[in-house]
Structure 1
Amino acid sequence: MTAPNAFTVDIDRQLQLPIYLQICERFRTAIAAGHLRPGERVPALRSLATQLNTARGTVELAYTILVDEGYLQMRGAAGTFVSPSLPASIMHSLRARGANEQNSRQSTGNPAVPQTPGDARGVRPAPHQPAIAAAMSGEPRPLQPGLPALDAFPLKVWNRLVAHRARGGERALLAYPDPAGYRPLREHIATYLGLSRGVTCVPDQVFVTGGYRATLELLLRSLGRPNDSVWYEDPGYLLARGFLAETGVHLVAVPVDDEGIDVERGKQLAAQARFALVTPSHQSPLGHTLSLARRMALLDWAEQASSWIVEDDYDSEFRYLGRPLPALKSLDRHDHVIYCGTFSKVMFPGLRLAYTVVPERAVERVGRVARSMNAGSPTLLQAALADFVEQGHFARHLKRMRALYAERRVLIVRALEQAFGERLIVELPPGGIQFAARFAEGPDGPIDDVAVAARAREAGLAVLPLSIWYANAGTRRTPRGLVMGFANIASADDASRLARKLRACLDG
């Protein structure tokens, strides 16, 4: 076994670049320069965290990024090593970047920093993507964003319906699933959307998928073109941004304010973009609602540019002030809006069922691609879900959850206010099952929310740093805070305990 060499990592706490990104950059540079050789062991997580006087979670996040990028390999108890077979393309890229950064430092006297938000050159892949995906999967943890109340789901009813379908022995449930989805479920979805969201559609327009990522892949393959530009909310949904960046589309970060996505800014950056991905009812992660003026402006832009609007309506069922808002699709008179929904928030994420409603003129194309992808979801679960809806359990469950979440959001907000005082700015969310809280700037400048979230993860909590939802996460003006869920807060005592635990992570 190769012993770790005397390689040391230096970080500069005066830089605006987060510590975990500085660690990543030091390792990349050392590998490119030959100071760390293929197959060589690197310092252990705890050892490096002690050396840098930083949280173990911060180092873990950096190592996870480097592993995903192919620079490092984790070998369990044996330790972490430089990848023994670094691709030549990686080494070439590293050396080129090192030369560019050296030239930049010589000409400006400052370290290279990420591009500014809204840059029409596009959004780069988020380096934190693997760590975030890991935080959002596996065993549920307190304050996890986007996680519905698992303790309140009618599991006995669901198990009975699944067992009934399984015992029935229907041969269609054992065969390859219909790539467009189980027909009765598509019919129920079309009816539900017409009644609750104002979306007029027929079952043939509804396609059932294995989640929002699968939905995006289906839409891009069906309706996309090479080198498409895609408007993306800034800040915006992390996992979708990571997936889109992997597909090679040109992501254009369009700023979000209190009225939602800034359509005029989007037109300035990329007027002929092929797609615009938006969360109009409950902006992810800020929670704003897209104003009527912006909705009409967005629809006008799509018509003039012959573009598609992808409406991600991920948790609009949960609205605590009045009735759920009408979908953007309900205002669409020229068939440019593609509506996307999911059962992950209203049922449970392990179900892995979502759906999209495509304009009639796109049904044939999307259907053809769905068949070629063989993208069907398990028929057994779709059939059980259709029964769940048909027998009225779905409507009753939604009604109960709206009341329950309205109570639980108040519990956690009060507990956070009591635990953090003026150090955390918390606004009661009007809808959804998660919200973003902002840190007040401390005496030493902006709070390092990535480090706070890393410490929280070590403490067993699943909050996410707010800054990384922005295209340019490393600047001083990027808002810092935490994104957290509240649907699984069981009681006032539970809320107080979790808030105190989170507060302890603020100062390390």
Structure 2
Amino acid sequence: MTIERRRSEWIVEALALRLNQHRDEPATLAQRLYTPLRGWIQQGELTAGEALPSSRRLARALGIGRNTVLTAMERLAAEGFVVARQGAGLSVADLGPLPVAPAPRAAMVEAPPLSGRGQRLLDFCATLSGGHRAFAPGVPALDLFPRERWQRLLRRHQQRSPTDWFDYRSQGGLPALKSALCDYLRLSRSVRCHPEQILITQGAQQGFELITRLLADAGDTAWIEEPGYGGAQACFAMAGLAMQPIPVDAAGIDPEQAAGPPPRLIYVTPSHQYPLGVTLSLNRRLALLKTAERHRAWLIEDDYDSEFRYTSAPLASLQGLAEGAPVIYVGTFSKVLYPGLRLGYLVLPEPLVEVFRRASARLHREGQYVVQAALAEFIEAGHFARHVARMKSAYRQRQAWLRQALAPAVAQGLELSSGHAGMHLVARLASLEQEQRLVDTGHAAEVALSPLSRYYLGPGRPGLVLGYAGSDEGEIARAGGWLSRAWLDLRSR
């Protein structure tokens, strides 16, 4: 076989491989044929004067239409990458000396400084997980999400969507979704609301940002649970609030432990405290309501995963305890459905509804009305309730697998949280040094360990926040077995 023939065979085989590897791309076949050919010419893989296989041969070998091949070749010719040779088809054009890849840029003498707020924000990024591996907290069971049903709903609403859904919107969310949410929250969480009180957001974080911008000024005091959720801590810090950490014990946040200036905002996760997992007692709930009323403060109730309780029915919301309570209820679909959905909501006291709607439309705009319509139908048709029930059963099982994997360490003294609710367990450790060693060695073993100490604003207590919801049985067994052995090894030293 001649060199020219071998090169021609290589081009055909390489194109076939590329088309097969990228068959799910949205690009047209002609585009997927054009792109690698152009790249090989630019990179010098195909040299000046080299003949390309004929359009008939490519069409036959690749199993595609000849017109598709001609479209790609005509584009290459129009851009000057190939030229026609009379009686011999197409060959690579002579583009002259190809540019040499630039040498690596010299390091800057001094990087531009971040703002003080930017630097502080980075301090709150340490609790972010680096990927979907055991035991990243807050990751739901993505493998169990009903993707086909969801895609059918999206396609149907995309086809039916009115033109004005593609324009700027300022309704605070699709009315159908707000109505479906209102019915769900009243029944499942005893939230006192009507649909107009609901503001659809792009996740809970956007809700926190709106609250801090509209209801507090820089320097105002915000009470926050200690330890607490890093996303809320970061948002309050960026708003310039003076965060006052209030200790959490077995009954939840204790307002009697607060001192100093009166709060403007009080942030709590009453149903399932994050990350310790305790439930705020009724006495503490009533005390917080009285405290908020006395100081004319706003309570922020973050109800991030209340659906997942394993020993009792979901608890009534703090917001629903009293008519007209100064509570803003924050919810998200990231934990129940999937984080990439980027949809959350606020249930606002009536005096705040209009100002929050206008501010949200100005600062963030509104969008995803097709997705909101699909979600409204997902809830109204009962798919949401069935999915929650399925996830609840799966998470109970996954927690059991994790406890089984850690049983050898637990038998030797490793302390785990009760796990009566939620998507993670907390493992208590003996020292911050032990915590850091496990985190470091876990990274090398591809086990994402989130240190408990990083959830504290003040001196942290050692431990690990172990998310189990997003991993299957095999991954939990592998990672849990590794953690059990690693802890036992450290304990024996």
Deviation at 1:162, TM superposition (A): 0.8
Do residues 471 (structure 1) and 471 (structure 2) align? Answer: no
Distance 1:225 1:342, change over 3 A: same
- Other-structure match for 2:216: 224
**Cα separation, 2, equivalents of 1:210 and 1:446:** 36
| Residue 16 (structure 1) aligns with | none
Q: Determine if the alignment matches structure 1 residue 485 to structure 2 residue 472.
A: no
* Cα deviations by residue, 1:337-374 (Å, 9 ceiling, x for unpaired): 11011000110011010101010111122122122214
Please state how far the C-alpha of 1:82 moved relative to its aligned partner: 7.2
The structure 2 residue matched to 1:191, chosen from 159, 164, 183, is 183
Gaps spanning 5+ residues in structure 2: where? 1-102
Give the equivalent residue in structure 1 for 2:426: 436
Normalising by structure 1, what TM-score?
Answer: 0.71
Question: 1:15-26 alignment to 2 at 5 Å?
Answer: none
Which residue of structure 2 aligns with residue 142 of structure 1? 134
Structure 1 residues 254 and 125, CA gap change in structure 2 (3 angstroms): farther
Q: 1:177·1:379 contact (CA, 8 Å) conserved in 2?
A: no
Q: CA deviation at 1:423?
A: 4.9
One-letter amino acid of the structure 1 residue matched with residue 186 of structure 2? G
Task: Choose from 350, 373, 388 the match for 2:378.
Answer: 388
> 1:34-49, aligned counterparts within 5 Å?
none
- The alpha carbon displacement at 1:169 in A equals 4.5
Task: Specify whether residues 451 and 421 from structure 1 end up closer, same or farther in structure 2 by C-alpha distance, changes over 3 A only.
Answer: same
Change (3 A) 1:247 1:389: same
1:310 to 300, 310, 321: 300
8 Å CA contact 1:433–1:487 kept in 2: the answer is: yes
| Structure 1 segment 34-433 matched on structure 2, within 5 A | 84-87=110-113, 125=120, 128-133=123-128, 135=129, 139-178=131-170, 180-266=172-258, 268-270=259-261, 272-419=262-409, 421-433=411-423
- State whether residues 309 and 336 of structure 1, in contact with CA within 8 Å, keep that contact through their aligned partners in structure 2: yes
Kindly indicate whether the alpha-carbon contact (under 8 Å) linking 1:260 and 1:290 is maintained by their aligned counterparts in 2: yes
The one-character-per-residue Cα deviations of 1:77-134 (angstroms, maximum 9, x if unpaired) are 97996762454988xxxxxxxxxxxxxxxxxxxxxxxxxxxxxxxxx9475423433x
Aligned equivalents of 1:132, 1:79: Cα separation in 2: 32
CA deviation after TM superposition for structure 1 residue 400, in Å: 1.3
> Are the structure 2 counterparts of residues 348 and 88 from structure 1 closer, same or farther at C-alpha, using a change threshold of 3 Å?
closer
Match of 2:476 in 1: 495
Q: CA deviation at 1:225?
A: 2.9
1-side partners of 2:212 and 2:417: how far apart? 36
Percent of matched pairs sharing the same residue = 38
* Post-superposition offset of 1:401: 1.3
Q: Which whole-Å CA distance do the structure 1 matches of 2:263 and 2:271 have between them?
A: 22
For residues 268-311 of structure 1, give each alpha carbon's deviation from its aligned partner in whole angstroms, at most 9, with x where no partner exists: 233x2100000000000000000111001000001111110000
Partners of 1:503 and 1:386 lie apart in 2 by 43
Q: Structure 1 CA distance, aligned partners of 2:172 and 2:454?
A: 35
Hey, what's the Cα distance between the residues in 1 that align with 2:157 and 2:115? 51
Mark the CA change 1:359 to 1:285 in structure 2 (over 3 Å): closer, same or farther.
Answer: same
SS at match of 1:140: coil
What amino acid is the match of 1:155? R
The answer to whether the Cα contact below 8 Å between 2:170 and 2:357 also exists between their aligned partners in 1 is no
Matches of 2:361 and 2:332, distance apart in 1 = 21
Structure 1 residues 309, 500: closer, same or farther in 2, change over 3 A?
same
Distance 1:342 1:466 in 2: 23
2: CA distance, partners of 1:446 / 1:302:
35
Q: What is residue 453 of structure 1 aligned with on the other side?
A: 439
Task: Specify whether residues 85 and 152 from structure 1 end up closer, same or farther in structure 2 by C-alpha distance, changes over 3 A only.
Answer: closer
Structure 1 residue 404: Cα displacement:
1.6
- Partner of 1:269, secondary structure, is coil
1:173 Cα deviation (Å)?
3.2
Output the CA distance in 2 between the equivalents of 1:340 and 1:352. Answer: 14
Tell me, yes or no, if the aligned pair for 1:209 and 1:375 is still in contact at 8 Å.
no
Shift of 1:495: 2.8
The answer to whether the 8 Å contact 2:192/2:323 transfers is no
Tell me, what secondary structure is at the counterpart of 1:251? strand
Q: After superposing the two structures, state which structure 1 stretch, 404-413 or 497-506, moved more.
A: 497-506
C-alpha distance in structure 1 between counterparts of 2:171 and 2:277, whole Å: 33
Matching residue's letter, 2:256: E
Work out the CA distance in 2 between the residues paired with 1:282 and 1:232.
Answer: 15
Work out the CA distance in 2 between the residues paired with 1:178 and 1:468. 38
Q: 1: CA distance between counterparts of 2:113 and 2:194?
A: 50
Change (3 A) 1:460 1:377: farther
Could you give the per-residue CA deviations for residues 420-456 of structure 1, whole angstroms, max 9, x where no partner exists? 64352113311011121111x2xxx554423422332
Partner of residue 106, structure 1: none
CA distance in 1, matches of 2:115, 2:243: 23
One-letter amino acid of the structure 1 residue matched with residue 310 of structure 2: Y
Q: Label 1:366 to 1:88 Cα distance change in 2 as closer, same or farther (>3 A).
A: closer
Deviations along 1:169-189, one digit per CA (max 9) or x if unpaired, are 532332224451111101111
- Farther-moved stretch of structure 1 (140-149 vs 447-456): 447-456
Q: Is the 8 A contact 1:295 1:328 kept in 2?
A: yes
Cα RMSD of the aligned pairs, angstroms, is: 2.5
Given residue 376 of structure 1, which amino acid in structure 2 is its aligned partner?
A: E
TM-score (norm 2): 0.73
Partners in 1 of 2:280 and 2:137 — Cα distance?
21
Distance 1:393 1:167, change over 3 A: same
Distance 1:88 1:422, change over 3 A: closer
Amino acid at match of 2:465: V
Question: Shift of residue 458 of structure 1?
Answer: 3.1
The 3 A distance-change label for structure 1 pair 431 and 381 is same
Which residues of structure 1 form unaligned runs of 5+?
Answer: 1-76, 91-123
